[in-house]
Amino acid sequence: MTVWKVTNSRILNCRDMADTRIDKFLWAIRAFKTRTDATDACKGGKVKIGGVNAKPSKEIKPGDILQVRKGTLTFTYKVLQPLERRVGAKLVPQYAENLTPASELEKLRAPVETFFVTRDRGAGRPTKKDRREIEEAWDAIDFNDIPDDVAARFGLTDEDIDLL
């Protein structure tokens, strides 16, 4: 069945509007910058529909719950209306509802503190002696003696610290 939809003086052939590919939908709602990125995420098992891995050609319908893993975050979206063309950021809420829990979004704000071992530019690979000195420096760090304010910033509890 063919359905015609008129929007902003454009006539679109919406076919069934329920046969939108998941990779195209994720690109259209701006979950991914390119459609290729969305396709690769699907192929890599980073996209799930209702808890089941989705292939890029999987068709979505209204009410589907999508879980998209990007790095350490898992975004959750509810499909409100399938869509095949990329829309402006202000129009995305008409097509997908962001159900991502606040705990996942807090991971974006977490400070990243790392320990860098600096080497002079052009010094090449560390020698065996250098490597042993680096390992001794790492071993000298007592990870069980984490100050309370640092542990609080990373959301660590005493049980977590005991596991280190």
Place of tokens 């202000």: 90
pLDDT tens for each residue of 71-111: 888 999 999 999 889 999 999 999 999 999 888 888 777 66
| Residue 160 or 120, more confident | 120
3-state secondary structure (DSSP) of residue 92: helix
Phi, psi for residue 5 in degrees, rounded to 5: -125, 130
Query: Minimal CA–CA distance to 54: which of 89, 30, 34, 79?
Result: 79
Q: d(Cα 84, Cα 13) in Å, to the nearest integer?
A: 11
Those residues with Cβ within 8 angstroms of residue 141's Cβ, 6 or more apart along the chain or in another chain:
115
pLDDT tens for each residue of 132-151: 988 888 777 766 666 677 66
| Residue 5 or 88, more confident | 88
In order of start, what are the domains of the chain with their CATH numbers?
3-100 (3.10.290.10), 111-164 (no CATH)
Find the mean pLDDT for residues 36-56: 92
- The pTM assigned to this predicted structure is 0.59
Q: Quote the mean pLDDT of the chain.
A: 80
Q: How large a percentage of the chain has pLDDT more than 70?
A: 72
Q: d(Cα 26, Cα 137) in Å, to the nearest integer?
A: 46
